[in-house]
Chains A and B, each alone.
Chain A
Amino acid sequence: MIFTENIFVCLAAPLLIAVFLLEGEARRFNSFFLLGLTACLLAGYCNGYFEQAAVWSGLGHTQFVIQFAPVCEEILKALPVFFYMAVFEPRGRGIVSCALAVGLGFATLENVGYIAYYGAGELPFALVRGFSAGIMHAICAAILGYGLAFVYRRKWLALTGSFAVICAAATFHATYNLLVSAAGAWRGLGYILPVVAAAILMFFIRRPGKAISEW
């Protein structure tokens, strides 16, 4: 048994102090990284409750992990970004960096939790966690961030666009979970998927000489 709350406190304490010491972009990134850790902790609680409900309704643990956990996690990851957009009305890069910070914070606590549970003795396991699940959360956050930065122009556009972007991120996350929950070659494909997706995303997003604010 691991105590995720204890790990969370251990990771969050220095970051919380840093919030008061840093300024500007660094403070914002740090704050959203912290919110990402919090979102992961909350996702752990929510998934626990929903998993019980899923098992009682006859859905089963695996189907819950594949079908419902990604939706819950992506919504929780999006909430801090929505709050930031509603209160501070940022544009372009501000939204992207916040979404990425939340995603990275989420991936950090999740990976530390897994390492604490399964042990840190196996380097391949750590590599797989880092390069598959870690990158997968970053990809989902990038989908959310770039999508929201693009549609956040008018109230109704932001509303419909946000929902669309969350749906896309949740399905990508679910596809990853589906592959890694299977055995053999499918699992291997699941581990490679985030890296391939990251390459594709970077190919389409990185346009020389064009900032996100100019979209």
Chain B
Amino acid sequence: MTETIHLINQFIQIACLSAVTLLSARRSGWLFRLLTGAFSCYLLGDIFYMLHMWIYGQFPSGFSVAYLSYIGTYFFLLTIDLWLAGEWTDIQKKALRPNVRISLTAPAAVVILHLVYYIRDGGFFINLLFCVPLSLLAYYSLLMLLAGGAKSGLEPPSQRYHGAVLLYVLAENMMFLSSSLGSDAIYIAFDFIMSATLVITYRAAAKEAAA
């Protein structure tokens, strides 16, 4: 039963991500090219995961190359954050300094959540692999979210987009944590929510591009 729910979940995820990837790829502009990369990466990971289940009758155990594709998604999103941030002048850096301190709470939260996950489930190397890019993504997303309201002169603020990415990071971390709780229902619920946040990210990017 659990395996069936997992498969249905994967099917829905792949369908959603295919649609979002296709929509991103059809739009032009650097933001959508990088978003296509991010969604394609996630899609490839999901496809690999499901094909492994179909061919070998079980999901990959231990380290899987699918994890690498999920990590690739974080790096694509991080690239977008860095691109949006642009080159900061000294004046802008000074204006952002209070935000930097607040933004550090996001990676701290990610690290704590991963620490809890590590204590409960082990897997130091995999935890580290996920924790580093997720922390960086959380940090830059929160920083850019706050920078938009700080009148620091950064162009463009893109608050909607950064808010959506921050939601995605939160959902991803909650999914990790729920997987160590032993309840499949909670894990699958967060898995769905996480997929939904990717759709929200696309919508936010489309609105930013339109604005």
Interchain CA distance A215-B30 in the complex, whole Å: 8
Q: For A154, A164, A178, A186, which residue has the most chain B Cβ atoms within 10 angstroms?
A: A164
A171-B41 in contact given A161-B75, A179-B51 (Cβ < 8 Å): yes
Among candidates B47, B48, B54, B75, residue contacting A160 with C-beta atoms closer than 8 Å? B75
A167-B55 in contact given A175-B44, A178-B48 (Cβ < 8 Å): no
CB-based contact A171/B78 at 8 Å: no
CB-based contact A186/B55 at 8 Å: yes
How distant is A132 from chain B, measured CB to nearest CB, in Å? 16
The residues of A that contact B76 with a CB separation of less than 8 Å are: 161, 164
What string of 1s and 0s marks CB contacts (under 8 Å) between B113-148 and chain A?
A: 000000000000000000000000000000000000
The residues of B that contact A59 with a CB separation of less than 8 Å are: 62
Among candidates A67, A168, A174, A175, residue contacting B37 with C-beta atoms closer than 8 Å? A168
What string of 1s and 0s marks CB contacts (under 8 Å) between B23-46 and chain A?
A: 001000010011011101100110
A202 located at the interface, meaning its Cβ lies under 8 Å from any Cβ of chain B in the complex: no
How distant is A40 from chain B, measured CB to nearest CB, in Å? 20
Among candidates B33, B36, B63, residue contacting A67 with C-beta atoms closer than 8 Å? B63
B60 located at the interface, meaning its Cβ lies under 8 Å from any Cβ of chain A in the complex: yes
A171-B45 in contact given A67-B60, A150-B33, A215-B30 (Cβ < 8 Å): yes
Among candidates A150, A154, A160, A166, residue contacting B78 with C-beta atoms closer than 8 Å? A160
CB-based contact A164/B79 at 8 Å: yes
Interchain CA distance A78-B56 in the complex, whole Å: 30
Interchain CA distance A151-B38 in the complex, whole Å: 13
Interface residues of A, Cβ cutoff 8 Å to B: 59, 66-68, 70-71, 147, 150-151, 153-154, 156-157, 160-161, 163-168, 170-172, 174-175, 178-179, 182, 186, 204, 215
Interface residues of B, Cβ cutoff 8 Å to A: 25, 30, 33-34, 36-38, 40-41, 44-45, 47-48, 51-52, 54-55, 60, 62-66, 68-69, 71-73, 75-76, 78-79, 82-83, 87
11 contacts between A and B (CB under 8 A): A67-B60, A150-B34, A157-B82, A161-B79, A167-B72, A168-B40, A168-B44, A171-B48, A171-B68, A174-B48, A175-B51
Besides A150-B34, A153-B83, A186-B51, 10 other CB < 8 A contacts? Answer: A67-B60, A157-B83, A160-B75, A164-B72, A164-B78, A167-B68, A168-B40, A174-B48, A175-B44, A179-B55
